[in-house]
Amino acid sequence: MDVHLKNLFTRYQEQFGCGPGLGPGSGACLLKVDGITPPFIKSLYRTAAVLYRTDPWKLLRPEHLFGIKVGKDSDWSSRKQPFPCVQFIGGNGGDIGIYMFRAHDDAKKMTASRETIRVPNTELLRVTYELESIMFPSNKRMIKSLALEVSDTDRFPVIDVVRCTSSVELQFRNPTLEELKFAYAVLRAIPLVHPLLRQDYDAGPKWSRMMYFESFIETVDVQWPLEMARANDLVAVTVSHPPAHRFCTGICRTSSRLRSPMGGGAEWRRGNYTGNFLVLIFTSEKEPQQ
């Protein structure tokens, strides 16, 4: 009976629990995205699983916002970065996932310590890690038919775009292929960068329980997956904290090699300061096995 009640309570928390987030998945299914291929879906799930296992939620809270730049603004149809601000939720309860915002101001307006505030006329892309038991049937079928990689025990990523209307109602849709490409680059870069965060012991009030970090800006080169037409190309992904940070204040690490969480012979190669930031290049002798 105790085990039964514990499982029941866990499922209730997953589906209706309090804390930051906009609730469980909307039923969006990547197989319905125009132009997507099963190999790219597999790459997305594999990359999301690698990020999950690095456990950024252990230290990061919704108040920790990160600036993101993938390639050049001209690489995207809107001629600007689709989602230039990223937030991790789930470290202090609520949904477990990553929110990518259209603007830094949107992220600030929607962020509170114990909840995600619905702000009219805002849109974000989210990657949430859900228990398979509460997922929509369409996603369960996709996971089974494509043998997609699990992130942790029975958790899988769900990717959708959420819009808060003028009446603060939530509308959900499938992401576009371009938005998924942006998400792939972010998911691939973040595991390489967040372990480099250094705590700033002098920042914030002394009574605060939240951890503060030194400002930084790091750039990594990410390779597009083999199934994409531009698979041989590398894209530079710059991650900064806070989002408006422009200059690198850290110092070059002494180690010439830092192991990458991607495995498969992957590694960091220490770069040099170019301009205002340290360039670290991610290389892989072979791709992770399917």
What are 175-228's pLDDT values in tens digits? 999 999 999 999 999 999 999 989 888 877 777 777 888 998 999 999 999 888
What value does the mean pLDDT take over residues 20-33?
80
Average predicted confidence (pLDDT) for the chain: 79
pLDDT at 150 over 70: yes
pLDDT value for 275? 33
Q: What is the 3-state secondary structure (H, E, C) of the chain?
A: CHHHHHHHHHHHHHHHCCCCCCCCCCCCCHHHCCCCCHHHHHHHHHHHHHHHHCCHHHCCCCCCEEEEEECCHHHCCCCCCCCCEEEEECECECCCEEEEECCHHHHHHHECCCCECCCCCEEEEEEEEEEHHHCCHHHHHHHHHHCCCCCECCEEEEEEEEEECCCCCEEEECCCHHHHHHHHHHHHHHHHHHHHCCECCCCCCCCCCCCCECCEEEEEEEECCCCCCCCCCEEEEEEEECCCCCCCCCCCCCCCCCECCCCCCCEEECCCEECCEEEEEEECCCCCCC
What value does the mean pLDDT take over residues 17-30?
69
pLDDT at 17 over 70: no
pLDDT at 273 over 60: no
What value does the mean pLDDT take over residues 161-174?
92
What tens digit of pLDDT does each residue of 101-140 get? Answer: 999 999 999 987 677 889 999 999 999 999 998 899 999 9
pLDDT, greater one: 58 or 247: 58
